[in-house]
Amino acid sequence: MRKLLLQVQVSADGYMAGPNGEMDWLTFPWTDDLSEHINALTANVDNIVLGRRLAEGFIPAWAAGPPGEDKESIDWMNRTPKVVISQTLTESPWENATVAGGDLAETINGLKARPGGDLIVYGGGTLVASLAEADLIDEYHLFVNPTAIGGGMPVFPGRRKLRLVSARPFGCGVTAMHYEPVR
């Protein structure tokens, strides 16, 4: 069965974004060692899962080729099929993306049951919280930035028991923390 991986950047105090969605605390530029780590993480991924609000900015930004991103990453992001979780959209306005609504557990478990590589979710915050609360995430890949922001959107909506698989610091100051849920 396919796994659902979460890849998200977090502040040192555990937030995905500031109180008003701020992302200005992220560490850039990334070093080659971090880029290689992410390439290895996504090597077996063949579907991206996004919440609707994130998809509205994420998909067009990657389609335009964000400045500072390498061509290989831009190409991977654009060619990898996306599933947008939404209770309001009925069809996708984006190329290479489908919309899925209804019961979240049924939708994610249905995607996991299909043949293929792993799934990766990048967010947004509401979707990540719902997936964590429903225990649908199989691996948490938290990229901890060396900045505390004091408040905002947490990764976890409540307590979650995790098992550390690995921790790896990178030259740019980001540390990749790989966890699995304790079930």
- pLDDT higher than 90, residue 81: yes
Residue 26 structure tokens:
């992220």
Q: Look at residue 118 and give its three-state secondary structure.
A: strand
For residue 90, what are the contacts with CB-CB under 8 A and spacing of at least 6? Answer: 99, 101
pLDDT digits (tens, 9 = 90+) for 90-114: 899 999 999 999 999 999 999 999 9
- pLDDT higher than 90, residue 158: no
Topology of the domain comprising 4-181: Dihydrofolate Reductase, subunit A (3.40.430)
For residue 146, what are the contacts with CB-CB under 8 A and spacing of at least 6? Answer: 12, 27, 173, 174, 175
Q: Are strands 45-51 and 82-85 parallel, antiparallel or unpaired?
A: parallel
Q: State the amino acid at position 138 in one-letter form.
A: D
